[in-house]
Amino acid sequence: MNRSHPLEKLRNFGIIAHIDAGKTTVSERLLFYTGVSHKIGEVHEGDTVMDWMPQERERGITITAAAITMQWKGIQMNLIDTPGHIDFTAEVQRSLRVLDGAVVVFDGVAGVEPQSETVWRQADKYGTPRICFINKLDRMGGSFEKSYQSILDKLTKNAVAMTIPIGEEEHLSAVIDLLKMKAIYFEGEKGEIVVEKEIPADMVGKAKAWREKMVDRIAGEDDALTNKLLGGEEISNEELMAAMRKACLAFKLVPVFCGSALKNKGTQFILDAVIDYLPSPLDIGFVKGTDPKTGAEIERKFSDTEPFAALVFKVATDPFVGQLTFFRVYSGVLNKGTYLLNSVTGEQERIARILRMKSNSREELDVIYAGEIGATVGLKNTITGHTLCDKENPVVLEKISFPEPVISMRVEPKTKADQEKLIMSIRKLTQEDPTFRIKEDIETGETIISGMGELHLDIIQDRLRREFNVDANFGKPQVAYRETITAESEAEEKYVRQSGGKGQYGHVRLRLKPLERGTGFQFVDEIKGGAIPKEFIKPTEKGVIEALDKGIIAGYPMVDVEVTLYDGSFHEVDSSEFAFKIAGSMAVQAGAKKAKPVILEPIMKTEVITPDAFFGTVISDLSSRRGKIEETKERMGMKVLDAMVPLSEMFGYATALRSLTEGRASFTMEFNKYEIVPNNVAQQIMEGKVK
């Protein structure tokens, strides 16, 4: 069976944005216009195709990235609608890792918002070409020019307007295509009939000025077009589109479109722009990986004739088929029933079924080709970030990196019968979500779950109750503090035990050094001349890691530390892995105590939007929460405050803000960095007073 679409006729793209910019509404329109759905689902009515989880429909937000396949003008498109809420940032990270391009949606009233910047930076990190869509221009306060300017000011100077609106707010009637220099109207009940008309007389001058800017920017990226422009020659639309495509793929230009998804205006331009300007797998060409045995770099071309390689980017529990594993095929062809190698674990997995996802429904396939996105069921030991590949040609594709959780809570089953069920259910959820963690507290015997924020843990609780029927008690959310050192130190420890017969002997010398914030832990082996045999190095490192995990001051994990093992000694008979593990652990504890240890707390980048009347009250409240005000600005007659506030001070802030501002203010926050806790707060943490 041959592939239905050649690689150049394939587009894998995602929709990314700040919460409430209208991503899901845009996605629903795309599904309707491409014929996937025959009715437009609305977020406010809770009947969308893309937001299919009960929690998503009730709250009107996207929680999991949903994948769907559609066709437009002979091109096969795989679309992933990602969440905007920062608690679900992992969904955006993993989607961007496997997508070739992205559509960034902006709220036409607010312009660039904090999480718009976050997803933009994530797309930069993965080198994802993108197009922009300024949405919601039908709303009161909607302004194309202000939103466009905010993209230029905050995100990129390379944005180029390709369409401009005719009318704004309730007068939004159509958009002008600056390439064709035509007014485009969207008629019919759902805006499905696209009609070209002449530009209204009062808009001609404005449209010409915008087109001139567009032509200058595009021609500026292409020498041949620059010469034509300087020579006063006419540049054809085909030449402009070809130059724009080339510049967009090279991250030199970003095309910007506009409209209102809710009012069905301008959304078809997104579909055309995905085809015209975003890459096919052929434009990307290849993916890099490493040889699992030698670590040498391997390149795999996007081609059906190369050995098979796919990256698992998501695991989800489906109530009907069990565990679904989503993967992106980079090279080769996969037939149903094939055995593949998981090159990370070294185990084999059988692909019994291949599915193409239509959000939460599915289509069975016999074969899947290079460049496509699919899913399978029944894999035993494969999780997010693992590579599935041909057994004879192993490769490990670059893993996906995820942020560390910043908030924890205690969980305990209500009955003995729920104990087993709770652990099984939590394990399933940790497989699905790499930013959700579980840990047993050895001293208290409690189970601690950790996540990215209050909403994240709230959704987890809800899912445990509904999907897994687990009855449990949850403690109050706690901040995930960390510890680190601020000075260098050295330590020497011997672990010697003699009890008749074979004894225990381990002797290590360590050097501890603080690292830059966010570096993590590094272990350096500087043993020379066999002072400690090779087989005892790994156990020493294990002991070091265990000691750092327990912390020194208040039992929180210690981070951003470099530990160098530079000397020690061993006993021919008595030395053992166990003895060196204990010696390593003791030496780190002794060394860390001398290295001026401190507690670190997560600091949240917070944006509060409030009416002018409550401005002073909100500022003084944030200051009382140890907040540092970074910037204040105006947005649509509202005051906008940017502040850095410790997470420990932000519990219950939503309720407090509502009562301070008569329910008229709103806020968003996202993790920014870890910072040293002030002495008085550190004292409270150590005494266990911080709730």
CATH number at residue 581: 3.30.230.10
Other beta carbons within 10 angstroms of residue 441's beta carbon come to 12
Mean pLDDT within 186-197: 87
Q: What is the pLDDT of residues 629-668, one digit of tens each?
A: 998 988 667 888 999 999 889 888 878 888 898 878 878 7
494 within some domain: yes
3 state SS of 101: strand
What is the average pLDDT across 675-684?
Answer: 90
What does the alpha-carbon distance between residue 298 and residue 607 come to, in Å, rounded to a whole number? 44
Check: CB of residue 248 under 8 Å from CB of residue 240: no
Residue 171 marked in a binding site: no
- Report the distance separating Cα 385 and Cα 435, nearest Å: 13
Percent of the chain with pLDDT over 70: 89
Arithmetic mean of pLDDT, 306-316: 86
CATH number of the domain that residue 632 is part of: 3.30.70.240
The percentage of residues in the chain with a pLDDT greater than 90, rounded to a whole number, is 35
Q: Is 18 annotated as a binding residue?
A: yes
Distance CA 438, CA 472 (A): 15
CA–CA gap between residue 574 and residue 536 (Å, rounded):
12
Q: Does 20 appear as a known binding residue?
A: yes
Asked if residue 557 and residue 465 are part of one domain, the reply reads no
Q: Are 513 and 488 in contact (CB under 8 A)?
A: yes
469 is in an annotated binding site: no
Residue 136 is assigned to a ligand binding site? yes
pLDDT class for 487, splitting at 50, 70, 90?
A: very high
What is the token pair recorded at 376?
A: 């399978």
Pick from 123, 85, 77, 78: nearest CA to 102: 123
The region of weakest confidence among 216-230, 332-346, 496-510 is 496-510
- Point out the domain boundary residue: 530, 564, 595: 595
pTM for the model stands at 0.70
Residue 80 maps to which CATH number?
3.40.50.300
Is 83 annotated as ligand-binding?
Answer: yes
Q: What is the pLDDT of residues 342-376, one digit of tens each?
A: 998 889 999 998 888 764 567 888 999 988 888 88
14 belongs to an annotated ligand binding site: no
Q: How many CB atoms lie within 10 A of CB 74?
A: 8
Sign of CA dihedral 5, 9, 10, 16: negative
pLDDT digits (tens, 9 = 90+) for 396-405: 888 767 777 7
**Among 479, 509, 537, residue at a domain's last position:** 479
The pair of structure tokens assigned to 231 is: 């020579």
pLDDT at position 65 is 45
The CATH code of the domain that includes 459 is: 3.30.70.870
| Angle subtended at Cα 444 by Cα 441 and Cα 448, rounded to the nearest 5 degrees | 40
680 annotated ligand-binding residue: no
Same domain (yes/no): 434, 336: no
| Nearest to 115, CA basis, from 155, 63, 146 | 155
Average pLDDT, the chain: 84
Distance CA 431, CA 428 (A): 5
**Three-state DSSP class for 322?**
strand
Could you tell me if 127 and 26 lie in one domain?
yes
Nearest to 372 by CA among 19, 623, 9: 9
Residue 180 pLDDT class (50, 70, 90 cuts): very high
Domain boundary among 397, 423, 453: 397
Pairwise CA distance, residues 429 & 414, whole Å? 19
Do 345 and 436 belong together in one domain?
A: no
Burial (Cβ within 10 Å: 0-12, 13-18, ≥19) of residue 463: buried
What does the block give as tokens for 606? 């917070």
Give the CATH number for residue 334.
2.40.30.10
- Does residue 445 form part of some domain? yes
Yes or no: say if 207 and 174 are a contact pair by the CB < 8 Å rule.
no
Question: Are 489 and 475 part of one and the same domain?
Answer: no
Establish if 1 belongs to a structural domain: no
579 is in an annotated binding site: no
Q: Looking at residue 653, what is its pLDDT? A: 85
Is 138 labelled as part of a ligand binding site? yes
335 marked as part of a ligand binding site:
no
pLDDT at residue 60 tops 60: no
Three-state DSSP at 62 gives coil
249 and 296 in a single domain? The answer is no
The number of distinct structural domains making up the chain is 5
Q: Identify whether residues 16 and 141 lie together within a single domain.
A: yes
22 is in an annotated binding site: yes
Annotated ligand binding at 21? The verdict is yes
Indicate the pLDDT class of residue 407, thresholds 50, 70 and 90: confident
225 shares its domain with 343: no
Is 643 marked as a binding-site residue? no
In a domain, 372, yes or no: yes
Domain range spanning residue 175?
Answer: 7-281
Position 518, amino acid: G
Residues 327, 463 within the same domain: no
Q: Which residue has the higher pLDDT, 190 or 441?
A: 190
pLDDT for the residue numbered 398: 80
Residue 402 within a domain: no
- Say if 213 falls within a structural domain: yes
**In terms of domains, do 221 and 350 share one?**
no
Would residue 338 count as lying in a domain? Answer: yes
**610 labelled ligand-binding:** no
Tell me whether residue 490 is in a domain.
yes
Range in 50-54, 241-245, 253-257 with the lowest mean pLDDT: 50-54
Q: Are 643 and 606 in contact (CB under 8 A)?
A: yes
Co-location of 237 and 98 in the same domain: yes
**93 and 166, same domain (yes or no):** yes
Determine whether the annotation assigns residue 135 to a binding site. yes
